[in-house]
Amino acid sequence: MRRIGVVTSGADCPGLNAAIRAVARKSFDLGYEVIGVRNGWHGLIHDDVFVMEKSHVSGILYLGGSILGSGKDDPFSSEADFASFQANFKKYQLTSIVVIGGFTSLRIASRLNDAGYATVGIPATIDNDVMGTEQTIGFDTAANFVCESLDRLHSTASSHHRVMVVEVMGGGAGWIALLGGLGGGADYVVTPEYRPKFDDILHHIENRKSSGKTFSIIVITDTATVDGLPLGECPKTGVGAYLASEIEKRSGIDTRFTVLGHLQRGGTPTFFDRTLATRYGYEAVELLRRGDVGKMVALKGGLIVPADMDQATRERRKPEAKLFEYAKLFY
């Protein structure tokens, strides 16, 4: 009898429950037992797991968050934690683990596989920064939320003739700002990959004003930098607030800021994230069935294929240059 542990590790994102559901249902279909690990790796370090039944995954497809809970514990953080992980892995007679998470979580999964614990990964993060796949679970929902938020901000920015600065998450990559901004009609996008000069941002705003555009919307990733502004020394309110205050100070234009923050992580997953998570979960169990461990499932050319998990976690995936060309067309 195979006993598969299921872990949702790291930061949460929309679509985790859809992936858990698919892993469990496919496992049950094959006659495997499924062990739910609570609160990320904390569950296997501190002996907090449970045997999953079909009832546990009924009615969860559309729910945000994770029914298992998540966390940022790391079994490699200390010798004691790794020893506890090993003891509980053996205690519950696990034969393998499915790890659902982002860059750091999949890196841990790869290390565990190298240590002899059969592991398969499912890339799930709003940041979309995992190499080897065209898209991660959660990104579509987060980018859609940014797009919808910009739609709403357009009307109030236009009514009051303001500059609106919108700060979004990104985890060191500009995917959400870039594509959320492109879809939502942002007038300027600042990401970690594209470091503009502050004067260029001001010139753009002033040029829009002189051409009859009475408002501007700027999207910035929370880890981005701008030449000419010490964003690394910005107050706790974040880069969006600091950029907005400097724009108003230098241009004299009424400027406001909005931080979308953790709103991007919550809520109902989109159709795309639900179906992607379902396909990922199914194929992850198929990898285990074939004994093809140390891999993660990935989206390539519309198909779900295996990708080497070690290769995928050596560096974070950045948006390709062509996407910036698309965005700059509308600046």
Report DSSP letters for 176-193, one per residue.
HHHHHHHHHT-SEEEBTT
CB within 8 Å of 270: residues ≥ 6 apart: 14, 140, 141, 144
The secondary structure of the chain in percent helix, strand, coil, rounded to multiples of 5, reads 45, 20, 35
For residues 161 and 178, what is the distance between their CA atoms, to the nearest angstrom? 24
Mark 130-157 as b/e (b = at least 16 C-beta within 10 Å).
bbbbebbbbbbbbbbbbbebbeebbeeb
Summarize pLDDT for 242-280 with one digit per residue, the tens: 999 999 999 999 999 999 999 999 999 999 999 999 999
The low-confidence residues of the chain, meaning pLDDT below 50, are none
pTM of the predicted model as reported, rounded to 2 decimal places: 0.94
Tell me how far apart the terminal alpha carbons of the chain are, to the nearest angstrom. Answer: 59
- Which structure tokens are listed for 303? 């198909």
pLDDT of residue 231: 64
How many Cα atoms within 13 Å fall on the side-chain side of residue 90?
7
Catalytic residues: 127
pLDDT of residue 234: 59
User: Mind listing the domains of the chain with CATH numbers?
Assistant: 3-138+269-312 (3.40.50.450), 140-266 (3.40.50.460)
For residues 274 and 265, what is the distance between their CA atoms, to the nearest angstrom? 14
Summarize pLDDT for 126-178 with one digit per residue, the tens: 999 999 999 999 999 999 999 999 999 999 999 999 999 999 999 889 999 99
What number of helices (H) and strands (E) belong to the chain? 11, 11
